[in-house]
Amino acid sequence: MAEATLNKNMIEGQIKPINGMSEELLSVFYSLDRNDFMPDAMKEMSYVEKNIILQDKRTILKPSLIAQIALSINLNANENVLILGATTGYLSAILSHLAETVIVVEENEQLLNNSENAIKKNNINNVVFVKNEIVKGYNEQSPFNAIIIEGAIQEIPINIIDQLDEGGRLFAIVQEGEICSAKLFKKNRLSISEQKLFNCTLPVLSMFIKKNSFSF
């Protein structure tokens, strides 16, 4: 079956049924082939509804989870977004069609290169890749309207919250006991509000395991 058909079937079966999906967001998914963003050794898994675990608990997020993140963060065309971790560049590509600028921080050189190459292949020019420790974020270009951590964490580091603009929001998947919950944190002056979105299962990123952290 042709990749274009497989990609369409993935969207129809896994993404379109998600409650609240807009035509605008769906059109972005239709405009990109997920196969372009998968590592060469994993091309046959491009359209699978499954999180793919890599080395060091890094995870290629399944298509529906990427869609839920894009839906939850609700970007506007004049906003900037920081993505912490980029296993494939697929999320970055999706958000590049919704935001003004996407900045991606990645410390794994292979993942960084693969993601950057996929973005270039798709002629996307508003995504900037930075090689840096994921846990540090990217203070030099802060504040950000939105921040997304691509992987599960145990607690929210205060240095990441500090990089949010007033009214900015952070999407994070937080481990609580045996389960992980996707949450949206919003910065309002000196306070942070927290909204639970949905449960999911994801390995915790090693750099976000209870060190230099701040819990709400």
More confident residue, 215 or 94: 94
Query: How many domains does one find in the chain?
Result: 1
Look up the pTM and report it. Answer: 0.94
Ordered alpha helix ranges (H), 34-145: 63-73, 90-96, 109-121
Residue-wise burial string across 22-54, b where 16 or more C-beta atoms lie within 10 A, e elsewhere: eeebbebbeebbbbbbbbeeeeeebbbeeebeb
Band (155; pLDDT cuts 50, 70, 90):
confident
What mean pLDDT do residues 13-41 have?
Answer: 96
**Position 135 in a domain:** yes
- 198 in the Ramachandran plot: left (φ > 0), alpha (ψ -120 to 50) or beta? beta
The secondary structure of 123-152 as a DSSP string is T--SEEEEES-GGG--GGG--EEEEEEEEE
Does residue 17 lie in a domain region?
A: yes
Query: Does 134 reside within a domain?
Result: yes
Average pLDDT of every residue of the chain: 94
Q: Is 79:99 a contact under the CB 8 Å cutoff?
A: yes
What is the percent of the chain where pLDDT is above 70? 97
* CATH number of the domain encompassing residue 99: 3.40.50.150
In a domain, 174, yes or no: yes
What percentage of the chain exceeds 90 in pLDDT?
A: 87
Q: Residue 158: inside a domain, yes or no?
A: yes
Q: Which of 49-63, 82-96, 175-189 has the highest average model confidence (pLDDT)?
A: 82-96
CA atoms of 86 and 90, how far apart (whole Å): 8
Cα–Cα distance measured from residue 82 to residue 73, given in angstroms and rounded to the nearest whole number: 11
Residue 125: predicted pLDDT: 97
Query: Average pLDDT for residues 102-117, to the nearest whole number?
Result: 96
Instruction: Report if residue 165 sits inside a domain.
Output: yes
- Rounded CA separation 215/206 (Å): 17
Residue 8 in this model has a pLDDT that exceeds 70? yes
pLDDT band with cut points at 50, 70 and 90 for residue 3: confident
pLDDT at 156 over 70: yes
> Residue 204 pLDDT more than 60?
yes
Domain presence at residue 214: no
Query: pLDDT at residue 41 above 80?
Result: yes
Higher pLDDT, 100 or 208: 100
Please give the pLDDT value at position 213.
Answer: 47
Instruction: Tell me, yes or no, whether 215 lies in a domain.
Output: no
**R_g of the chain, CA atoms, integer Å:** 16
> Which residues span the domain enclosing 187?
3-208
The continuous run of DSSP H or E covering 80 comes out as strand 80-84
How confident is the model over 137-152, as a mean pLDDT? 96
Alpha helices in 141-205 (DSSP H): 158-161
pLDDT (mean) for 167-183:
93
